[in-house]
Structure 1
Amino acid sequence: MIGGNHPPEETPAPKVDGRVAIDTHVADLLHAMLSDISRAKPMGRNLKPEIWKCLFLDAMGHQANWVLSLDGDGVVNTGFRSSRLTVAEMSDMIESLYAFGAEHGVEWSEPAERHAA
């Protein structure tokens, strides 16, 4: 109804396989944070961001499955993917990354204003 005092209808969040799709900003934030952790080399661990992501997913109870790469020079995770996390799970993961980073002196590349929010 035009001109009425009705609140605008909310647009439902897009869904992928029954889960709320994570927006690009959140996915970019996750990958930036994982890169920051990787650069910091906490606990002397020189790991790629993808490996850190698997470690955090494992800490959340999502099992990783590793398969030898085609060239035999590494392994590939074929287990749970972060794109399958719910919004609440993604939020928990990002909070875990912030807590881990604070504990291990990680310097975040994202603007500091976001940490205060």
Structure 2
Amino acid sequence: MPDLMLRNETDRARLIGYLAGMPLEKPQKVVIKDLDRSTEQNKKLHACLSDIARQVEHAGKKWDVLIWKRLLTAAWLREAGEQPQLIPAVDGNGFDVVYERTSQLTVRQCASLLEWIQAFGAEHQVRWSQKDLWEGRY
């Protein structure tokens, strides 16, 4: 089954027609899911993380973009009522945090994360390098 975008009634009719024409001899899986984050969201996310990495210290240290992405994603998940998993390390030395990968976020989830990161940045007087051409609509 090809990927189909469902945006309007024409798309819905096309999907119904496609489903009606599918053979039923063998089981098939049909998945309907929200869109993954957009290219614009990805660019905005990494621009924000880069600005934070350059300007903000945490625990007495400046961290790189990847560490900030992990820290902020974990904090966002906790605030959203979800919990990143804290699992004993496989080598027995401490714990590892396992959280949702940002590449697998939906458009809605990524918009929420971006809003959370921008609020964090505002609280820490971050000066954003990227102009918001989308007026917060990510």
Q: Same fold (TM over 0.5)?
A: yes
Of 102-111 and 41-50, deviating more is: 41-50
Give structure 1 stretches of 5+ with no counterpart.
1-7, 69-75
Q: 1:63 aligns with which of 70, 74, 84?
A: 84
1:114 to partner: Cα distance: 5.1
Asked if 1:88 is matched to 2:94, the reply is: no
TM-score normalized with structure 1 length: 0.65
Identity %: 32
Distance in 2, matches of 1:112 and 1:18, equals: 28
* 2:47–2:129 contact (8 Å) kept in structure 1: yes
Give structure 2 stretches of 5+ with no counterpart.
1-7, 13-30, 91-95
Partner of 1:105: 125
Runs of 4+ aligned residues of structure 1 deviating over 3 Å after TM superposition are 8-12, 16-19, 42-45, 64-68, 76-79, 112-117
Amino acid at match of 1:83: S
Instruction: Work out the number of aligned pairs and report it.
Output: 100
Q: Cα RMSD between the aligned structures?
A: 3.3
Q: Which has the larger radius of gyration?
A: 2
Distance in 2, matches of 1:99 and 1:50, equals: 19
TM-score normalized with structure 2 length: 0.56
